[in-house]
Chains A and B, each alone.
Chain A
């Protein structure tokens, strides 16, 4: 699966955390790793305030990512070191036998243990996008909307001190990017239409095989070669056909899915909003006669404007359903 799929960009990046101690504003000394974890722990993540209280108010903790109307999810994590899984497994009986001739693994000798050079910050995000270039536009947009928060987090990472602008931040994200190999798109209700041209691929592979065989036959006849030449020729034809089919299948697989219906953030938010409103409407109109229901539904449409994803809608970053 590519980075871009189903109308979403699935960004994954790793950023090396600085190791030299730093001085805080109050003069105290700490490590970048500790200040990074402090920044992440105090970064507002979502809002789940009881009804009646003001979202965005003092008690609220709306994520700065909610300022961006394209970001579905964003996640930070710190990776200190790979977990050590113990020594490489061996067959005890085989090792005992090999040890008789001094070829076995000496269990008293330590095996190497893998470590990372330093802690790394993992940043993943899922946002609306149409083309690969949208990654940079999204990064610039984030910089415009949440530069102070991004500085607090990424400030602990190497190379970030050279970032001074949205374009610089986009470059920084590009530098740290890894290919997202398994993205998860949750907004397909029905399976997307798979237009994998199985028949076309088979036909192309078959045609290639036939062509190779035909050339072989031609050469045999023209050059008066022995008919045994046909055996390696058929083998080559089969191998070539399999290779072509594999390449065509992989190319088809690399093609991103189209955008899921109503899978962009404004539509999702509108959907959440409408779902709550429809429930309230259904409750309020229980048992209403047709005329009342008709009139009430007209008011409902006017109030909620289902076709308009820009409003009224559910505010981003708020957990409510």
Chain B
């Protein structure tokens, strides 16, 4: 008999904001990310102590729609600008965190993202490291980025960030300037003199911020749901389509320890982490990846490939061919409807007629449409005739595809522990505009997980830049994978349709890494310990 104890109760006030829920979804369509170099441990710690009280936590704000709150409870004000801090390995070293604590940090975190470029495919002829922003190129890491400052801002009502964003940026810049060279706000985000990486959500036709990215897809639909992420009692319903599946349609939230350190993970153990435990607990790791998107090259390739597809499959219109091609590459139609729910253009339109889009960009599953956007499996599509095996979303979240008993009867299925151990939370925002004169447009991704090596790096190396688990040899992800001269993308056809499979070739390197690093995002407890210089591993 299984005993039921207390449910997982993540102390929201101890976890930094932006992890449990993305800021973009909470009414913060703007962001600026800055990088600070620390030359003097004391100055660095003073900097943290000066800002610590203003760091945004995961405590929920009252919803804008439901302003009323239970009487007697502390009212938490929604900030105009959020503030979060994270540190790379050399940052923690520069701040004087003891070696005995640092030796408990994972290898990949110590290596940093640049040191892992061979694993990540970040230094290939098509995607060379020489293309990185200058802020990331300092060879001596003692002189490079140490502290990542993340600011997210509300809209001022006129399509601009609230003025408090600029004031906070100015304040941080002044703190660095006044430190006498002990702290430096490093320039070089896309332009030699740019000290902040600006980010901004893309707007819909009505001028409202939306979840689109530069290629036109709706992004960030199925981020994982884990135990304790939502208030008590909501886990079961929230995990439908987002959590772990048993392969027969039942979902449960993933283990907390996959995303927050110091909690049991999917292997039912607390993974080893830097000591003392309160230094690690409720903290997590972030991979910061600035990814340039070559929108023009992508669009012109799509035009040509869609013409070929229209001809080969005798599709009625070019629009149908183009939308079908885009959907087959991503695994979802441009509005997010999954191919598994609507494999053809006609079925997509039928889906939208049955479950019309609401216009709000929600990631919950409390409407029938939203549930259907995420509640699906791949067991009925083993050959990828609905959703190609190598479509972006099928690679990044394989759901039940790797279930070792997936082809057996429902009762014998077991879901996929392999997948459950490789989920990642994706945060971040787009930057730049299509056609911008400086060519700066793409997305800054923040990939959040408890083990960068097991989760993020595995997904990037094995599922995005390789095709073995998809039975696709060395084909890479058609959207964000590395594309050499012989890159191809195979769209399997439903045999009943009478169409042959379509093999798209000539894929270009549409997504190029422009820089990034691995950061530790400490809990408020650990931030206090770092700021006060009292991390005690003994």
Contact = CB atoms under 8 A, between A and B. Distances in A.
Contacts of B503: 279, 282-283, 286
A52 B126 CA distance: 14
B473 A321 contact: yes
B211 to A, nearest CB: 35
Contact of B125 (A50, A283, A287, A321): A50
Interface stretch (B143-151, B426-434, B482-490): B482-490
Contacts of A224: none
B308 interface: yes
B500 interface: yes
Interface of B: 125, 308, 311-312, 473-474, 484-486, 488, 500, 502-503, 505
Contacts of A283: 488, 503, 505
Q: Would you list the 5 A-B pairs with minimal beta carbon distance, nearest first? A: A287-B312, A283-B503, A283-B505, A51-B485, A286-B312
Nearest to A52: B485
Interface of A: 50-52, 279, 282-283, 286-287, 321
Nearest to B314: A287
Contact of B500 (A50, A52, A286, A321): A286
Contacts of B308: 286-287
B474 A321 contact: yes
A286 B502 CA distance: 7
Contacts of A286: 308, 312, 500, 502-503
B484 A51 contact: yes
A50 B308 CA distance: 29
Looking at chain A's contact residues, the main secondary structure is: loop
Nearest to A275: B473
B321 to A, nearest CB: 13
Contacts of B500: 286-287
B484 A287 contact: no
B486 A51 contact: yes
B491 to A, nearest CB: 11
Contacts of B311: 287
Given A51-B484, A283-B488, A321-B474, 4 more contacts: A50-B484, A51-B486, A286-B503, A287-B311
A137 B503 CA distance: 46
A91 to B, nearest CB: 28
Contacts of B502: 286
23 contacts: A50-B125, A50-B484, A51-B484, A51-B485, A51-B486, A52-B485, A279-B488, A279-B503, A282-B503, A283-B488, A283-B503, A283-B505, A286-B308, A286-B312, A286-B500, A286-B502, A286-B503, A287-B308, A287-B311, A287-B312, A287-B500, A321-B473, A321-B474
A51 B487 CA distance: 12
A283 B486 CA distance: 11
B196 to A, nearest CB: 37
A50 B500 CA distance: 31
A287 B312 CA distance: 5
A286 B313 CA distance: 11
B473 to A, nearest CB: 7
Contacts of B484: 50-51
A54 to B, nearest CB: 16
A282 B490 CA distance: 11
Nearest to B486: A51
A281 to B, nearest CB: 11
A316 to B, nearest CB: 20
A291 B485 CA distance: 30
B301 to A, nearest CB: 15
Contacts of B125: 50
A51 B312 CA distance: 29
Contacts of A50: 125, 484
B482 to A, nearest CB: 12
A283 B505 CA distance: 8
- Of A52, A279, A286, A321, most B-chain CB atoms within 10 Å: A286
- Of B308, B486, B500, most A-chain CB atoms within 10 Å: B486
Nearest to A280: B486
Nearest to A287: B312
Nearest to B125: A50
A287 to B, nearest CB: 5
B506 to A, nearest CB: 10
A102 B502 CA distance: 80
